[in-house]
Amino acid sequence: MAFSQPQPVAQAAAQSRAAHGTREPLSRAERTLAVFGYFATVYKRTWRGSVIARFLSPLFFMLSMGIGLGHLVNSRAGGVDGLPYLQFVVPAIVATQTMWVAMGESTYQVLGYIKWNMGYHAMLASPMGVRDVLRGHFLAIATQLVFATSVFMVVAALFGGFSSWGALWCLPIAVLTGMAFVTPIFAFTARQEGDDGFNILFRWVMTPLMLFSGTFFPIAQLPGWMQPIAWVTPLWHGVESCRMVSTGTVSWGLLAAHLAVLLAYAAVGWWLAERSFARRLVP
Amino acid sequence: MGRVSSYDQAGNDDAVLLRATGLTKRFGDFTAVDSIDFAVRKGECFGFLGPNGAGKSSTMRMVGCVSPVTSGELRLFGLDPATDGPAIRARLGSCPQRDTLDEELTVAENLWVYGRYFGLSRKEVRSRAAELLDFAQLSDRAGDRVEPLSGGMKRRLTIARSLINSPEVLLLDEPTTGLDPQARHVLWDRLFRLKRSGVTLVLTTHYMDEAEQLCDRLVVMDHGRIVAEGSPRELIEEYSTREVLELRFDADDHKTYAEQVAGIGERVEVLPDRLLVYTDNGDEAAAKVHAAGIEPLSSLVRRSTLEDVFLHLTGRSLVD
């Protein structure tokens, strides 16, 4: 898991930014990568623990639901609409695990940088602004999502979880699904004083979403009044998109609508996060 | 120490790097900083002295361009923080009241990461970090995690980090609060060296000895306002007497004794545990107290300090 920071271009020609007087401003890319560089340094120390923790949960779900329960479903009902249960559930787990990664990265960690070790304050004392801090941190989390999703997908593929090469599209869709959770949760976290709100988020938002967003069974099995709840939350859209591309049954209009909802969550969340960060960090 | 000491001394030494006019900060209905004026010249050490809640940190956060000005004018290097915050911060060093180090990373990593925020190349960051760790007397801990370091070491690391961009003005918010006396002296020594190398220092403190040791000029703040301004010596001359006679009595309330010693010395201040008699000659005043038949448990003659200035200006002690 090597994170490397690109070398600035034409460094030799430029005057040092440690020389007194007016300093050459940093480009947006430089600012984003400087913040990303911090998180990369942190991950270099902690990735072993987090990769194993993140990888094991989806693996257990895949083994118990996909293979254990799947055996029952396949023998009694012939799979889900003819699809072997493992191939039904694996793309959905790909989308769902991003929600857990998002929770892990956007709650206690973020409150820590705001309140406890005040890492954001350290950044904001430098030329970095709130937008740079968010951009760099989101990039770091997106990178984590890429790694976590890739590792799981490789293992799931070895177990026969995918039936077509279209499944590769699950990776970008999963990252987008994760970001649709990350940015609104950032905005939420920046308004918390303690961790009480996180318990509510875990118990009353994340767990129900995992159970009722079509991960383990089609939402058509739910009572009619519950289905609209799945429609307005991001996870179902991620699950459906991943399932479509990996089973090769893509309905383009529907896929575009799902992705549009995910993009909207990520974009509105980003906007809200900028607002709550500015209010909290540079009062 | 190469780069730190190679500060460019040329140019106009009286240049004002920092100027505030009518500077005000409000949080809702609460006015933290109430229309203050001050100017900091290149190369000096300028202090804000005052008790907790006087508005020092709010002022420092505005000066550090991490808190917007509510009203009034603030200029650093001639630039306005509202429009040129990043350009100003690129030239500042900031040492906040609470250390904002990443304790999970190593000492050196904290510096490397921070240097990148200022756009320094990785090569430059590494060479500057090595010099600064030497300056902060932390070279032998470079590869260690920050978490187990002592409070004084973390503070020195925070200061080293704030110097990574070779700042022209270094902001220090309560630099030695929470440190033991020995660690404070080590830190003061480092700050003296910085000042001698030409770095302009702006600091807040509620320790009068720190202000006396470090500051060329300071303002005394109380309730968001500046109540006095000058060098430590000027302030003591203007607002206090040369000496102070401290009298302790065997009493819960020292007020009754204040009436007895009234007239001896220029004025008397009553503290919960002692009386302070302000006079130009402490021994003479002590003799008068004795001659009047008043018998304190103990008496002590000392020189006036900024603590006395503050007591006189506000009627309260600095450290509650």
**Chain B contact set for A5 (CB, 8 A):** 116, 122
Kindly state whether A208 is in contact with chain B, defined as any CB-CB distance less than 8 angstroms. Answer: no
B320 — pLDDT class (breaks 50, 70, 90):
low
In the DSSP assignment, the letter for residue A251 is: -
- A254/A170 Cα distance (integer angstroms): 16
**Closest by Cβ to B117, choosing from A24, A118, A123:** A123
- Domain B2-233, CATH number (from 2.40.50.140, 3.40.50.300, 3.40.605.10, 3.40.50.10860): 3.40.50.300
Check residues A162 and A78 and name the one with the higher pLDDT.
A162
pLDDT at B261: 87
Q: Are residues B59 and B33 in contact, defined by beta-carbon separation less than 8 angstroms?
A: yes
Residue A226 pLDDT > 90: no
Number of A to B CB contacts under 8 A, please give it: 116
**Closest by Cβ to B66, choosing from A21, A38, A124:** A124
Q: Are residues B22 and B39 in contact, defined by beta-carbon separation less than 8 angstroms?
A: no
H helix or E strand, kind and range, residue B268: strand B267-270
Which of B88, B57, B87 has the alpha carbon at shortest distance from B203? B57
pLDDT at A3: 41
A5 — pLDDT class (breaks 50, 70, 90):
very low
Q: Where in chain B is the domain with CATH 3.40.50.300?
A: 2-233
pLDDT at B273: 87
Structure token digits, residue A167: 């499944």
In the DSSP assignment, the letter for residue B266 is: S
Residue with tokens 């206090």: B240
**Closest by Cβ to B66, choosing from A8, A37, A282:** A282
Hey, how many other C-beta atoms are within 10 angstroms of the C-beta on A64?
Answer: 11
* Strand intervals (E) in B63-168: 71-76, 92-95
pTM confidence score? 0.90
**Closest by Cβ to A283, choosing from B27, B89, B117:** B27
Of B117, B121, B132, which to mutate for an interface test with A (greatest number of A Cβ within 10 Å)?
Answer: B117
Residue B139 pLDDT > 80: yes
pLDDT at A96: 94
Q: What is the complex's ipTM, to 2 decimals?
A: 0.88
User: B137: left (phi > 0), else alpha (psi -120 to 50), else beta?
Assistant: left
Kindly state whether B27 is in contact with chain A, defined as any CB-CB distance less than 8 angstroms. Answer: yes
pLDDT at A14: 56
Q: How large is the average pLDDT for residues A274-280?
A: 97
Contact check, Cβ <8 Å, A17/B7: no
Kindly state whether B7 is in contact with chain A, defined as any CB-CB distance less than 8 angstroms. Answer: yes
pLDDT at B14: 63
pLDDT at A230: 84
B25 — pLDDT class (breaks 50, 70, 90):
very high
Q: How large is the average pLDDT for residues B165-190?
A: 92
- List C-alpha distances in Å: A258 to A89, A100, A176, A208, A255: 18, 20, 11, 20, 5
User: CATH code for B241-303?
Assistant: 3.30.70
Which region among A35-44, B18-27, B195-204, B256-265 has the lowest average model confidence (pLDDT)? B256-265
pLDDT at B318: 67
Structure token digits, residue A135: 């951009």
Of B25, B106, B116, which to mutate for an interface test with A (greatest number of A Cβ within 10 Å)?
Answer: B116
* Strand intervals (E) in A51-169: none
Core vs surface per residue B238-263: b (16+ CB within 10 A) or e: ebbbebbbbbbbeeeebeebbebbee
Q: Where in chain B is the domain with CATH 3.30.70?
A: 241-303
Residues 238-297 of B with CB under 8 A from A: none
Residue of B nearest to A40 (CA): B113
pLDDT in tens, A33-43: 999 999 999 99
pLDDT at A95: 96
A212 — pLDDT class (breaks 50, 70, 90):
confident
Kindly state whether B86 is in contact with chain A, defined as any CB-CB distance less than 8 angstroms. Answer: yes
- A170/A164 Cα distance (integer angstroms): 11
Which of A218, A199, A241 has the alpha carbon at shortest distance from A95? A241
- Could you tell me which residues come within 8 angstroms of residue B148 by beta carbon, excluding any fewer than 6 positions away? none
What is the nearest CA distance from A107 to chain B, expressed in angstroms? 18
Q: How large is the average pLDDT for residues B268-297?
A: 91
Structure token digits, residue A9: 């271009």
User: A78: left (phi > 0), else alpha (psi -120 to 50), else beta?
Assistant: left
**Dihedral pair phi/psi, residue B228, rounded to 5°:** -165, 155
pLDDT at A29: 96
- List C-alpha distances in Å: A231 to A170, A209, A264, B239: 19, 11, 14, 72
pLDDT at B8: 38
Q: How large is the average pLDDT for residues A102-117?
A: 94
**Closest by Cβ to B119, choosing from A17, A21, A35:** A17
* B220 CB-contact burial (10 Å; exposed 0-12 / middle 13-18 / buried 19+): buried
pLDDT at B4: 35
Which region among A54-58, A129-133, A180-184, A249-253 has the lowest average model confidence (pLDDT)? A54-58
Residue of A nearest to B27 (CA): A283
H helix or E strand, kind and range, residue B24: strand B16-27
- B129/B115 Cα distance (integer angstroms): 8
Residue B58 pLDDT > 60: yes
Kindly state whether B103 is in contact with chain A, defined as any CB-CB distance less than 8 angstroms. Answer: yes
pLDDT at A222: 85
Residue B241 pLDDT > 50: yes
Residue A52 CA neighbour count, 13 Å, CB half: 3
- A230/A216 Cα distance (integer angstroms): 13
pLDDT in tens, A47-102: 877 777 777 878 888 888 888 888 889 888 888 888 999 999 999 999 999 999 99
